[in-house]
Structure 1
Amino acid sequence: MYLNCKTYFSYRYGTIGTQELVDMAVARKVRSLALTNINSTADAWDFVDFCRKSGIRPVLGAEIRNGNRLLYVLLAKNDEGLMQVNRFLSEHLMEKRDFPKRPDVQEVWTIYPFGSLGPEDLGNCELIGVRREELSRLYGCHPERHPDKWVVLQPVTYQDRTRYNLHRILRAIDGNTLLSKLGSGDIAGEGEHFPTKLELWNAFGEYPEMLQNTLRVMESCSVDMELHTDKNKKYFTSSKEDDRILLEKLAMEGLALRYGRDNTPALERVKKELRIINELDFNAYFLIVLDVVRYAQHREFFYVGRGSGANSIVAYCLKITDVDPIKLDLYFERFLNPHRTSPPDFDMDFSWQDRDEVIDYIFKRYGRNHVALLGMFSTFQGRAIIRELGKVFGLPKPEIDQLVSRRKDAAPPEDRIQRAILKYGALMQDFPNYQSIHPGGMLISERPIFRYTAMERPPKGFNTAQVDMFLAEKIGLFKLDILSQRGLAHIKDAIGLIRDNRGEEVDIRQVEKFFRDPKVADQIRRADTIGCFYIESPAMRQLLTKLKCDDYLTLVAASSIIRPGVAQSGMMKQYIERFHNPGNIPYLHPKMEGLLKETYGVMVYQEDVIKVAHHFAGLDMGEADILRRAMSGKYRSHNRFKLIEEKFFANCRALGHPEHISKEVWRQMESFGGYSFSKAHSASFAVESYQSLYLKTYYPLEFMVAVINNFGGFYGTQFYFHELKKAGGKVLPPCLNTGQYLTSIAGDQVTVGFVHVQNLERKTIDHLLAERERNGEYLGLVDFMNRIQVDAEQLNVLIRVGALRFTGMDKKELLWHANFKHKRMEKVPTSAVMFEEEALDFSLPRFPKKPLEDAYDEIELIGFTLGDPFELADDDRTGVVYVHELPKLVGRQVCLLGHLVTTKPVRTVRGDYMAFGTFLDEKGDWLDTVHFPLVLKKYPFHTGGFYRIYGKVTEEFGVYAVEVRDMRGVGLRK
């Protein structure tokens, strides 16, 4: 009877959760139920799963609309019909075409709204749906003449009157309009709740044939596909056995290269992994990942293989990863084991410049009907909900801001509209808002993707599934993560710059050499890591100093304990203290010493959760892995998690562990599990960090130019230019004759790229570079103006930023000549002049020049000065000390002059704001500051600039900082 039900995956329309819809059907003793979301099958397989568990026959389909106009409802008769529905949806969604008035689908019922077509015009699988409020219009239509063409169409959109109001709010948000301006065509009807079967039978009592036909249609539909069964591409070659043979051959060849031919432990582990991979049908998965890696190698793309896949020695031998699992004592079972309850995956990081090409290769290599990017959905959350509701209710911005900043424990507002906003905001918390894209997940299926999901095509042009990672897992599809990051682009571009500037080739994969390099060790020990992937933030540089980090294994640990969960739980501080005093560690339990000795009794890695759960609490590996996934936010079954928690404590009691010890072990596991890395993740990141460190150590100029050109890093661009100058680079303004779009380097001279010049249009840059490439360098101002038709404003920007300094003329003289020539022109010519005009010669007076004129031009046009920024600080330096002096001043009150780099606000346990600051002093050294709540409130940060900082010097494990008691902004010199 219920063949038109929607959930909140009818985005900004429905108000019913998927499980809630099924629960409502159970309460009404419904035997069969259809899910027909608007232009979507996003939650279809959750619906099927919930229905089957509740004894309800699921029916799948979709409600097809063009905008607000309902065209028809599609119901899949079987699995083939569902594929037709998904394909039909996808073809129109991906091409952003309107749906046709009548669909061309097979094995599908098409139900038209009453009045759109007559029964005599319908085909075999086409029907007319009648709503309760439309029954009076049936008189004179003679439904008895075509009894098999009429069905009951009872839309189910919301639960009750309150949710009907919520539906209206969602429609206003979708239309970006005031609630009061919604029209009747924008919203659902007032009767689209979930009536009982008796109510429907009574309403349609005069038309028993229609009721019977509705039941017949529902009974004719079925969903036979099994969930949780492998639906990935089965074979890379032609059979499982051929895949096994090929993978074994390639792994053994890689083993000889990585370990030599006589390494028995490595050989035994490779054989063990190959056996498990074969038993669990993962041969094809490894070979597909290897295929992607080899394509990247062929294209000279830099990549990092990480994730739990880095626990595999087979992956290491295949050069999918550069993490040696034997050296790091990584166990394969973290990636793949017979007890694992969910599919593992590889994370492959590529440069942001190369990632799309890798994705395109996968689509073309394995077929666009069998490949999709993994979808996800954005949800309504917290403050964003209040802002959305404030707009649709018509509140002014100041009132919305006030409501957003309202504390949770505050008394309910007296204003009726504000109370309504808070009420409905709470109801729509976590509702899906819109379809989005998973950061990197890809699906490669054996059968067409349309069998499982419809697809959309976001702006980048790659087909994207409507299902998220949880539903893909439920279906039985493993994801392969193809991710991007700028750190790899830094490495790739630096190597290219080194080749062009120095004529040297760098083999960046010689990571074992980098681990042993004393200069690299000294660089990391001094935390001279600005620009280096993952280890350049103030917090990370402080941690490296505290740990006296100068080796790979310590960096692996640091990459994990810097995560918020470890830091917030106090375990990071505990780790540092125990690192400095390893002989006096109070292990929670004797068994914990054997499990956590490497990390001084502190749980640092996700693997530690599994080890402790298995060896300390007696959970089997499958349960331990579920626990690890649940604590890291990758498992949705709260009931399953609760059962494992109960079993954890029951096992601990049975094993005789004291209750308080068990609770503390659980607290430590739970407190950091959501943020921690797997050890393999940390090891992969540490490898890339070492690669960046090597380049920064031996090729600092080229490396910093690469960082600048990728616009990526923890700090603003000006501070990477600071590092470049600190390393000996001579930084020059953009130049018409030597500059490029990006920043370029020749020897130790670095020319700022035109891309950094604000208000300079891309078309102007492209034009001047193309003309220079065709006809050579510009001879002077007149030559440039004759060859390039650039308006006066753009020309003035180029002159003021110093791009015409090669002429030898002063900026003001250039500006005078340029504007004079422009005024002589009646209009800017549309093409370059054929013959060069002789320039009029003027004898101009000398224009006065102020000392800081160029610096202020650069600040206005680039955002920062290319010279010494401290020349601008209006301060006489009286009483100022410098960062290099702090070790001798611990405990004393000092004054420093600092240039603000970045701040990090945090909340105290009382909910007050405090902050950590990072500054540069005049000597170019980095300063860390601490600003407690009262000080921060009295002396807040402003945007950038210079500050006189007064406070006490503190020291902790070799890290010096200033605990600020007073801070005053310093103005700029005129």
Structure 2
Amino acid sequence: MYLNCHSYYSLRYGTFSEKELLELGQKHGQKVLALTDINNTSACMSFVRQAADFDIKPIIGIDFRCGAKQLFVGLAKNNKGFHELNSYLSFYTHSKQPIPEEAPQFTSVKIIYPLSQVISLAKENFSSNEYIGIAISDIPLLHRSPYFKFQKKMVLLNQVTFRHKRDFNVHRLLRAIDNNTLLSKLPKTEEGQASDTFLNAETLDNIAEQYPLIIKNTETLQNECSIHFDFKPKRQHQNLLSFFGDRNGDYKFIEILCQKGLKKRYDEITPIITNRIKKELETIKEMDYVAFFLVNWKIIQYAKSKGYYHVGRGSGANSIVAYLLGITDVDPIHLDLYFERFMNIHRANPPDFDIDFSSKDRNDITNFIFEYFKGHGQVALLATYNCFKHSGAVRELGKVFGLPKAELDILSDGKFDINKLDSLQSLVVKYSQLLIGIPNHLSVHSSGIIISEKPIHYFSATNLPPKGFPTVQFDMEISEDVGLFKYDILGQRGLGKIKDTLSIIRKNRPELPPIDIHDVKRFMEDPVINKNISDAKCIGCFYVESPAMRMLLKKLGVNTYLGLVAASSIIRPGVAKSGMMREYILRHRDSERAKQGHPVMLEIMPETYGVMVYQEDVIKVAHYFADLNLIEADQLRRGMSGKFRSREEFVKVKQKFITNCRLKGIPEETIKDVWNQTESFAGYAFAKGHSASYAIESYQSLFLKTYYPLEYMVAVLNNGGGFYRTETYIHEARLHGGVIHSPNINLSNIETTIIGQDIFLGLAHLHNLDTDLVATILHEREKNGPYTNLENFLDRIDTKTEQIQILLRIGAFNFTGINRRELLWTALYRLNTEHKKTHQNELFKIKSKAVSLPKLTSTELEDVFDQMEILGYPLCNPFLLVEQTEKTQHYSLDMPDFINKQLTLYGYLVTYKRTSTSKGTSMFFGTFLDKHGQWIDTVHFPPVAARYPFRGRGVYKLVGKVVSEFDFLSLEITQMQRINYIPDPRYT
């Protein structure tokens, strides 16, 4: 009897999930339910998948509305009808046109007009698929309606949007948020009715008694609608099934590609290699993923044709076929990678390639995919749901209730005493909790693209967000459920650094021979690079520069590729959380301790001393330790992350893991330890092939940093830096012999440039400089040559006072040899006294009136303070600015002489990290640079952290005890004080 039900994917209207709708339907004895969200199909797939669990036949459709006004409800008669509905809605979401008042001529869709809309349209003619929807509120006066004669066309159209009064209150708040209005001013026309709930049996009986034909029509319509999507684990996937339109041809082609790749990748072709290729190809063919590989291959071919670099990672790096096709650069034979982690005939969920491109190249790659594979609307981006969280919910509700911003800030931060709130504030907090988790709006998945065999609208309507690519209305989880497996195309700054460095080297050092950046094996064997890794001299390098990674590299003494592969996964939160990072380090450094692990664990994972490090280890432990089959083992691995943890299949597998271990006689304590390891780390761990891919990129960046440090650091600056702030990379360039210059009007571009060892910061570093002005300056310079002096610049460029001040104060005209204070006076005089420049060509050059200025001077120190004001940091050593330090000083290099002793150091704050102890109190890890640019790592335990807080950037006096853990030195702080800078000479 319910043909018009809403979930909370009726955005800013509905109040509960599609699962809760099914639970309600079951509670009210319903055998059929129709989900018809407002201008949205996000929940349809999930609704159909779960309906069988509640013994309910699902019907899906769309409630078409203009704002809150209901125009008509479309119900899919079958899958073809759902396709029609999605295509129709998508046209209007893409074009931003209003949905028409009347439905078009669908072939497989049932259309229900609410009685109010029929009256509004004065509709007299109805197609065979069109009905009049009668709401409960229409029943009392129906016998008086001029449409009473159309009873044969009438069906019951009772909306279900709420469960109770509280849902209705939440709904009104959502409507006020959507209308950006105070709750007190929300028009009634923008609300639903509080009675939009499941009806009691008595009400239904009364309707059936009064209007049996309406009930019969409703039941007939329900019987005529059905929908089917296959959600079984072992079902045909819905991705593109053939690359060339012929599966046999696809398979022959991938065999040819493997043979070509074999000659390129291996000098010696062993039986291990050929057997692995045969095994993988058979599995790929049996699971019907040949086209999946060829699509990824085609994407890479296009990227290479454009000179784009990529990294193929994820579990896909476990595949030798992916290696031979150039999708990844990880040799799975060399690393003994477990192909079954990526693909096996027992695995239900899909294979997964993550392909990284430079952030600058990614959009072009995405555009290529949409153009090449678009077919009949077969490509789309995946969506994500932006749900209400505490802060956002409080702020939105605060506006609805009319609270001032100051109160909103307090409530949003969560730092308030609930007992001291007034009634309005309490309401905001109360209802914000009810909003948390409700979808607020749809967004775009960070990287997921689907390429389907059927048109995308067979599965979902699409939006057209600012990116300009059609985007389905469901997320990754639902996509996988229905058999649409995403292609991950990601943007990554590290690849931009590598690509740009090679370009900068060619320009700055043209005499050098070309660099083969893909000759990674040579980099892995380079003793200088490996020494830099073990010494943690990796600033600016991909994935190995953070304080935590520097610490781990030193503790492990990493100096090999395999060591770096392990470190890339050990650093992940799961291993540290389970306590196994420390255990791994202990076993790595002590061969006797390495033998103390559980025998089965040591046998499964000898390479990592019996410690789970990679995602594959979860599968291996589940399979060999707990006797789960491969399907169950992979369900366990997958269930460790995100939403899947709550899935019923995961709960069952977890219980079986523990039961099987008990049946094998494994002690309870051991079962508990192994399970805790598995549970705490699996959701965060990398696949080994993923870590191996990261390590390859790390070696490429380490090679460039080691042998071309200045060019590399310029590329780092031009790609948004990395873990640290910009000034850290400027400091690193200076440490390697770079001469740092502030932006120069003739030598700087938007990005930072290098000439020999001179590095000129880019104009983009001047954040308050107008981007249009920068473009004009560069265009004029390219067209008519360098600027000869300030007068020449002002003659050629129309600029404002505050903009020229930025350029002059930062030293952009230092090349003139004139003091910048004099230049500033000159510029201000001209801009304030001369007429605004026109863009007409001047027939005669009129000289500017000479100005007699007093003798003006500025010091280097004043220039430094200008830099700090404009850039946010000085371009000199910050220790030159401190007011006073002790005459006798120690530095970072002295720390080995003071182990377990008190030491005072002076350090410039780079960054710090807050963490919580087991008791919930705050402690910190600090990172500083000493006067000579060497690192100081500090530990601030809770009592000291509370007494001596960080007070922003600057030089700090650090007093503490030097401690050594696995040869990594840090200073346990007992006192900390920020040292004052000398007074600003511009104002003294």
Bin the TM-score by the shorter chain.
over 0.9
Residue number in structure 2 paired with 1:113: 114
1:724 aligned residue: 733
Alignment-derived partner of residue 93 in structure 1:
93
Instruction: Assess if the C-alpha contact under 8 Å between 1:201 and 1:211 holds in 2.
Output: no
Partner residue, 1:480 = 487
Partner residue of 1:167?
A: 171
Partners of 1:879 and 1:895 within 8 A in 2: no
Q: Is structure 2 residue 44 aligned with structure 1 residue 37? A: no
Partners of 2:828 and 2:389 lie apart in 1 by 54
Question: In the alignment, what sits opposite 1:231?
Answer: 238
Within 5 Å, give how 1:451-600 maps onto structure 2: 451-503=458-510, 504=512, 505-585=514-594, 587-600=596-609
Distance between the aligned counterparts of 2:951 and 2:161, measured in 1?
A: 49
1:337 to 336, 344, 353: 344
Shift of 1:72: 1.8
Q: Normalising by structure 2, what TM-score?
A: 0.95
Among residues 315, 320, 334, which one is paired with 1:308 in the alignment?
315
- Within the alignment, does 1:602 sit opposite 2:606 as a pair? no
Check whether the contact 1:788–1:832 (CA below 8 A) recurs between aligned residues. Answer: no
In the aligned structure 2, how far is the partner of 1:828 from the partner of 1:675? 60
Displacement of 1:608: 0.8
- Paired residue secondary structure (2:444): strand
CA apart distance, 1:478: 1.2
Aligned to 2:283: 276
Alignment identity in percent? 44
Question: 1:196 deviation in Å?
Answer: 3.6
Which deviates more, 42-51 or 423-432? Answer: 423-432
Aligned pairs (5 A) from 1:393-412: 393-397=401-405, 399-400=407-408, 402-403=410-411
Query: 1:138 matched to which residue of 2?
Result: 142
Of 88-97 and 390-399, deviating more is: 390-399
Partner Cα separation in structure 1 for residue 840 and residue 871 of structure 2: 30
- Which residue identity lines up with residue 113 of structure 2 in the other structure? Y
Q: 1:953: how far off?
A: 1.3
Match of 2:334, SS?
coil
**315-324 or 375-384: bigger deviation:** 375-384
Q: Does 1:379 align with 2:398?
A: no
Shift of the 48–355 alpha-carbon distance from structure 1 to 2, 3 Å rule, reads same
Q: 1:89 to 1:259 in 2, by over 3 A?
A: same
Letter in 2 for 1:513: R
SS at the partner of 1:918? Answer: strand
8 A contact 2:959–2:975 mirrored in 1 = yes
SS at match of 2:856: coil
Matches within 5 A, 1:279-290: 279-290=286-297
Contact 1:88 1:105 in 2 (8 A): no
Quickly say closer, same or farther: Cα 1:346–1:531, change in 2 above 3 A. Answer: same
**Range moving further from structure 2, 885-894 or 743-752:** 885-894
Task: Classify the secondary structure of the residue corresponding to 1:199.
Answer: helix
* Residue-by-residue CA offset, 1:845-867 (whole Å, 9 max, x unaligned): 32132341111111112222222
Residue identity matched to 2:393? I
Structure 1, unaligned stretches of length 5 or more? none
Deviates more, 1:559-568 or 1:826-835: 826-835
Q: What is the root-mean-square deviation in Å for CA atoms of aligned residues?
A: 2.0
Counterparts in 2 of 1:52 and 1:533: CA distance versus 1, 3 Å: same
Please list the CA deviations of residues 918-970 of structure 1 after superposition, one character each: whole Å capped at 9, or x if unmatched. 11111111111111112121111122122211111111122111111111122
1:427 has 2:441 as partner: no
The one-letter amino acid of 2:156's match is V
Q: Would the aligned equivalents of 1:169 and 1:392 in 2 still touch at CA under 8 Å?
A: yes
Compared CA separation, residues 841 and 826, structure 1 to 2 (3 A) = closer
Shift in Å, 1:722: 0.6
**SS of 1:852 mapped into structure 2:** helix
Q: Structure 1 residues 168 and 858 mapped into 2: Cα distance closer, same or farther (>3 Å)?
A: same
DSSP-derived class of the 1:849 partner: coil
Q: For 2:215 and 2:843, locate their aligned partners in 1 and report how far apart those are by CA, in whole Å.
A: 84
Bigger drift between 204-213 and 921-930 goes to 204-213
Name the structure 2 match of 1:903. Answer: 912
Q: Could you tell me how far apart the structure 2 residues matched to 1:793 and 1:516 are?
A: 54
1:886-927: CA deviations, max 9, x gaps?
111112222222211111011111111111111111111111
Question: CA separation in 1, counterparts of 2:396 and 2:966?
Answer: 48
Shift of 1:270: 0.6
Shift, 1:183, TM fit: 2.3
Instruction: Compute the displacement of 1:317 (Å).
Output: 1.2
Note if contact 1:880-1:894 (Cα within 8 Å) is conserved in structure 2.
no
Kept in 2: contact 1:119–1:146 (CA 8 A): no
| Cα pair distance change 1:83/1:797, threshold 3 Å | same
Q: Is the 8 A contact 1:308 1:334 kept in 2?
A: yes
| Equivalent residue number for residue 181 of structure 1 | 185
Residue 698 of structure 1 corresponds to: 707
Partner SS, residue 816 of structure 1: helix
Partner amino acid, structure 2, of 1:227: F
Cα gap change, 1:806 to 1:407, in 2 (>3 Å): closer
Shift of 1:414: 7.3
Given that residues 312 and 335 in structure 1 are in contact (C-alpha distance below 8 angstroms), is that contact kept between their aligned partners in structure 2? Answer: yes
User: Which of residues 237, 249, 254 is equivalent to 1:242?
Assistant: 249
Q: CA deviation at 1:212?
A: 2.2
Q: Select which of 672, 684, 694 maps to 1:663.
A: 672
| In structure 1, C-alpha distance between the alignment counterparts of 2:100 and 2:721, rounded to whole Å | 46
User: What code does the residue aligned with 2:525 have?
Assistant: R
SS in 2 for 1:12: coil
- Superposed CA deviations along residues 40-59 of structure 1, whole A, max 9, x for unmatched, are 11110111122233332211
Moved more, 639-648 or 333-342: 639-648
Q: In the alignment, which residue of structure 2 is the partner of 1:964?
A: 973
SS in structure 1 of the partner of residue 441 of structure 2: strand
Which segment is superposed worse, 595-604 or 348-357? Answer: 595-604
Distance 1:636 1:661 in 2: 23
Distance 1:834 1:937 in 2: 71
TM-score by length of 1: 0.97
Q: For residue 370 of structure 1, report the CA deviation from its aligned partner.
A: 0.2
Shift of 1:247: 0.7
SS at match of 2:124: helix
Deviates more, 1:12-21 or 1:760-769: 12-21
Quote the Cα distance in structure 2 between the aligned partners of 1:703 and 1:749: 14
Alpha-carbon distance in structure 2 between the residues aligned to 1:253 and 1:670 = 42
Q: Compute the displacement of 1:391 (Å).
A: 4.0
Residues 105, 337 of structure 1: alpha-carbon distance in 2 compared, 3 angstrom cutoff? farther
Residue 164 of structure 2 corresponds to residue 157 of structure 1: no
Counterpart contact for 2:900–2:963, Cα < 8 Å: yes
Name the SS for the 1:115 alignment partner: helix
| Partners of 1:119 and 1:127 within 8 A in 2 | no
Helix, strand or coil at the partner of 1:374: strand
Offset, 1:792 = 2.0
Cα deviation for residue 773 of structure 1 reads 0.7
Aligned to 2:776: 767
Name whichever of 387-396 and 75-84 sits farther off: 387-396
- 1:711 equivalent among 720, 723, 728: 720
Q: 1:136, 1:831 → 2: CA distance?
A: 78
**Hey, what does 1:194 align to over in structure 2?**
198
Shift of 1:9: 1.1
How far apart are residue 131 of structure 1 and its match?
A: 1.5
Separation in 2, partners of 1:790, 1:383 = 42
Mapped partners of 2:764, 2:751: distance in 1: 6
SS at match of 2:795: helix
Question: 1:595-674 to 2 correspondence within 5 Å?
Answer: 595-633=604-642, 635=644, 638-674=647-683
Match of 2:698 in 1: 689
Partners of 2:711 and 2:209 in 1: how far apart? 82
Task: State the AA in 2 paired with 1:666.
Answer: W
- SS, match of residue 356 in structure 1: helix
Relative to structure 2, which stretch is displaced further, 592-601 or 681-690? 592-601
Partner SS, residue 353 of structure 1: helix
**Deviation of 1:262 (Å):** 3.3
Q: CA deviation at 1:605?
A: 1.0
Give unmatched runs, 5+ long, in structure 2.
984-988
Tell me which amino acid in the other structure corresponds to 2:793: F
Note the C-alpha offset of 1:347.
0.7
Residues 372-396 of structure 1, C-alpha deviation per residue, up to 9 Å, x if partnerless? Answer: 1111212223444344444434445
SS at match of 2:911: strand
- 1:734-745 equivalences in 2 (<5 Å): 734-745=743-754
